Chains A and B, each alone.
Chain A
């Protein structure tokens, strides 16, 4: 039995189990919950696509731009992700139609009582005749989040175009929806979410520091429970759509918080809890190069975005905005080099120095490099929250007129069409950004300290921490300058 088949020991860190409250447990176990949340989100999502493609070309007056890149993004980065981890994945409408088609049901549990798989890790049961669903397993060579990294880089590279042109936003969202449906019909469960979705990649990484988790209460109960309903499904629900094995789950990265394991567990052994953020960063078997690269990409983009979107350098904005192909070529080259080589190389250098300073000669450089990348997660999240604060508080007031006139066609559905734009809390934004970045720095240094202790296991790690803390402080200073100096 491999590690994943072995129930993990319960984490002894302090936590508050939310599912101890019967009313919350009852709500979370409702089969209609996911359908209800996804349906509401799907209405908004389809409206965003329709408005993007059919509506006004003025981004500030188009529901597609305002509600996707300002309201949704603000909610995601400001609340859902830092407080709820993958909470958005519970609501996300992109996989909804595909999942409904895959299950041939919106709410109902599996008709066969949950024998979707012949065996754990084995081939998926062939679909019945006349069904569109293929149920293939995702190719082993494409597993991990490399595709998500590439997808995110693609969206980020063209973000100046996507974020400002409603029609482009509309077509990109439609492409996401089509990919979600298409891949759901071909591959098992939520392969799209787990391996392809460009947004899911960074949500997964940053959910490692979220204060919410789904875990088994007592691993011993799972050890003695042979039917593994939480993975295979039963009359009460489907096997984990995210292909996670709840009894072995000790990180948030790939738990979509869908609640299926809460419904299917016949031993009532699954709990949703509040915890202190961060323990997932120290789960050593989760340290992977693809996730490390995600941390670098997110950090690099968090530095590039304020330069392009908020900075005073109009020519750079013009390049990113595809004003000229030559200019965009230069921008794209710089962008990709910074993401794929620059920032990783900087951290590789710091990892080599840290390894030398701490005398970690028995630990391979690659392992030190990958492990320390997880120390960037809190700072990266803080930098993105700081960027989001600039973006959202300045533009959120566009949401009111857009609610009344989503297409920019002159409608006035709620009587708010002519509400004037005005920035909100503009005087507070610099303080909020400075606080976020400072907190992020402290949390990252604490994480680096814990990772080094875990790698080292004995004294001497402090010299390595000095190297890491210096680098993290320099990066925070850069972010502070970008948000409070250059872009202010």
Chain B
């Protein structure tokens, strides 16, 4: 055995011991560091403001949103990281203008916004994902001081709940879908002298082209009024289910005189013209967008009530091209139905999601299925 071998033999145990302690220190360090990192992560996750919030979208049948309520502070910058676990979902926050678009499985969709208004806001899925898609909602609570905007609630004079889903039938209906394009020249020729070019009202006639005027009036009543067959004197009656107010009678000449020898179809075209005067192209465009995103799944793209989601609802979705039913309704009634939904029909509640402008836009767009559009 050489001196070198002897030395090697001598230091071998020490080397082994040194290695063992080195390994122990390293292992202990890894364990401690790991525990600290996780602890810091957990603390950081729950104590931070302006944090990233993770939200997982699953079909309502398997749980819906992973969080039913998200609480943030007013003024906080919120970054939502949304993942879909199963099918394509969508994400939007009502009355906040936040829309993340489609949430595709396998991707993280981030949406960032400042929660500048206190209150409770509904977030919801915007892609038909499941028979119970409409139930896929959650609440974003923004805590803070200041005026809290309330959800879009029905005014006191609005349609009473029990009449929302009453069967309606106009009794008469146009042969073909009325056309504001045909009706507007007729209106200009025969009505504008008293009511103004855009129905804004004049010295001799009321503002019949204004949305407020038409809100509680049924198209079928306007049609009949124009023909003079029902009311020889006074104005178009207000629908009693549209708020309970009685019809205002004023002493004006019978409108049959002005309708002259107009055909039924021409009178329907004038009705359509009035409803088109009561809205704007921008509002119709917004309504079309909102309808496509939120309503078409059940009511169908063409408003015929045959959307794929409709088959799962307790009652068949309304067919907006059914003139007999639609022309016996009012803007106020449609607005109330969209706002409140429910009533055993499967129709979701949109009052917490749509602003008043959005509600008006959707309802105006609904009219275009039975009264046509001038666009």
Interface string of A100-127 (1 = CB under 8 A from B): 0000011111000000000000000000
Instruction: Determine how close the nearest CB of chain B comes to the CB of A165; give it in whole angstroms.
Output: 10
Are B24 and A410 touching (Cβ within 8 A)? Answer: no
Contact of A410 among B26, B51, B105, B107 (CB under 8 A): B51
Are A106 and B20 touching (Cβ within 8 A)? Answer: yes
Query: Is B213 engaged at the interface, CB distance under 8 Å to the other chain?
Result: no
Are A39 and B26 touching (Cβ within 8 A)? Answer: yes
CB nearest to B45 among chain A residues: A409
With A59-B85, A60-B83, A108-B17 known as contacts, the answer to whether A410 contacts B27 (CB < 8 A) is: no
Q: Tell which of B34-42, B196-204, B242-250, B332-340 binds the partner.
A: B34-42
| B45 partner residues in chain A, CB cutoff 8 A | 409
Are B66 and A46 touching (Cβ within 8 A)? Answer: no
Are B19 and A109 touching (Cβ within 8 A)? Answer: no
Are B107 and A46 touching (Cβ within 8 A)? Answer: no
A58–B27 Cα distance when bound, in Å, is: 31
A residues 124-142 touching B (CB-CB < 8 Å): none
Contact of A32 among B17, B23, B52, B56 (CB under 8 A): B23
A107–B26 Cα distance when bound, in Å, is: 12
A31–B106 Cα distance when bound, in Å, is: 43
Query: Is B357 engaged at the interface, CB distance under 8 Å to the other chain?
Result: no
Contact of B54 among A31, A32, A56 (CB under 8 A): A56
With A58-B85, A408-B54, A410-B51 known as contacts, the answer to whether A32 contacts B38 (CB < 8 A) is: no
Query: Is B30 engaged at the interface, CB distance under 8 Å to the other chain?
Result: yes
A421–B23 Cα distance when bound, in Å, is: 38
Number of residue pairs spanning A and B whose beta carbons lie under 8 angstroms apart: 71
Instruction: Determine how close the nearest CB of chain B comes to the CB of A359; give it in whole angstroms.
Output: 57
Query: Is B2 engaged at the interface, CB distance under 8 Å to the other chain?
Result: no
Query: Is A35 engaged at the interface, CB distance under 8 Å to the other chain?
Result: yes
Contact of B30 among A31, A43, A59, A105 (CB under 8 A): A43
Are B16 and A46 touching (Cβ within 8 A)? Answer: no
Query: Is B81 engaged at the interface, CB distance under 8 Å to the other chain?
Result: yes
A50–B39 Cα distance when bound, in Å, is: 11
Known contacts A59-B85, A410-B79, A421-B106; 10 further A-B pairs (Cβ under 8 A): A31-B16, A54-B38, A105-B20, A106-B27, A107-B16, A107-B19, A109-B16, A409-B41, A409-B45, A417-B108
With A32-B19, A408-B54 known as contacts, the answer to whether A58 contacts B34 (CB < 8 A) is: no
Q: Which size bracket describes the interface of A in this complex?
A: 20 to 34
Nearest 9 CB-CB pairings of A with B: A410-B52, A421-B106, A108-B20, A106-B23, A107-B23, A58-B83, A58-B56, A107-B20, A107-B19
CB nearest to B30 among chain A residues: A43
Interface string of A32-53 (1 = CB under 8 A from B): 1001000100110011001000
Instruction: Determine how close the nearest CB of chain B comes to the CB of A254; give it in whole angstroms.
Output: 27
| A39 partner residues in chain B, CB cutoff 8 A | 23, 26-27, 30
A39–B27 Cα distance when bound, in Å, is: 7
Query: Is A268 engaged at the interface, CB distance under 8 Å to the other chain?
Result: no
A40–B241 Cα distance when bound, in Å, is: 74
CB nearest to B81 among chain A residues: A410
Query: Is A158 engaged at the interface, CB distance under 8 Å to the other chain?
Result: no
Instruction: Determine how close the nearest CB of chain A comes to the CB of B135; give it in whole angstroms.
Output: 18
| A32 partner residues in chain B, CB cutoff 8 A | 19, 23
Query: Is A202 engaged at the interface, CB distance under 8 Å to the other chain?
Result: no
A48–B18 Cα distance when bound, in Å, is: 31
With A50-B38, A106-B24, A418-B108 known as contacts, the answer to whether A57 contacts B51 (CB < 8 A) is: no
Instruction: Determine how close the nearest CB of chain A comes to the CB of B106; give it in whole angstroms.
Output: 4
With A57-B56, A60-B83, A61-B108 known as contacts, the answer to whether A108 contacts B66 (CB < 8 A) is: no
CB nearest to A397 among chain B residues: B106
Instruction: Determine how close the nearest CB of chain B comes to the CB of A294; give it in whole angstroms.
Output: 34
A35–B56 Cα distance when bound, in Å, is: 39
| B16 partner residues in chain A, CB cutoff 8 A | 31, 107-109
| B110 partner residues in chain A, CB cutoff 8 A | 418
With A58-B85, A411-B41 known as contacts, the answer to whether A420 contacts B107 (CB < 8 A) is: yes
Are A31 and B52 touching (Cβ within 8 A)? Answer: no
Are B56 and A421 touching (Cβ within 8 A)? Answer: no
Interface string of A48-81 (1 = CB under 8 A from B): 0010001011111100000000000000000000
A259–B16 Cα distance when bound, in Å, is: 17
Query: Is A247 engaged at the interface, CB distance under 8 Å to the other chain?
Result: no
| A57 partner residues in chain B, CB cutoff 8 A | 56, 66, 85
| A323 partner residues in chain B, CB cutoff 8 A | 62
Instruction: Determine how close the nearest CB of chain B comes to the CB of A44; give it in whole angstroms.
Output: 11
Contacts A/B (CB < 8 Å), 10 sampled: A39-B26, A39-B30, A56-B83, A58-B56, A58-B83, A323-B62, A409-B41, A410-B81, A418-B108, A421-B107
| A398 partner residues in chain B, CB cutoff 8 A | 106
Are B34 and A43 touching (Cβ within 8 A)? Answer: yes
Instruction: Determine how close the nearest CB of chain A comes to the CB of B64; give it in whole angstroms.
Output: 13
Are A409 and B52 touching (Cβ within 8 A)? Answer: yes
| B27 partner residues in chain A, CB cutoff 8 A | 39, 106
A residues 417-441 touching B (CB-CB < 8 Å): 417-418, 420-421
Instruction: Determine how close the nearest CB of chain A comes to the CB of B41; give it in whole angstroms.
Output: 6
Interface string of B187-227 (1 = CB under 8 A from A): 00000000000000000000000000000000000000000
Instruction: Determine how close the nearest CB of chain B comes to the CB of A332; give it in whole angstroms.
Output: 20
A residues 265-304 touching B (CB-CB < 8 Å): none
| A42 partner residues in chain B, CB cutoff 8 A | 30
Interface string of B10-24 (1 = CB under 8 A from A): 000000110110011
Query: Is A331 engaged at the interface, CB distance under 8 Å to the other chain?
Result: no
Query: Is A401 engaged at the interface, CB distance under 8 Å to the other chain?
Result: yes
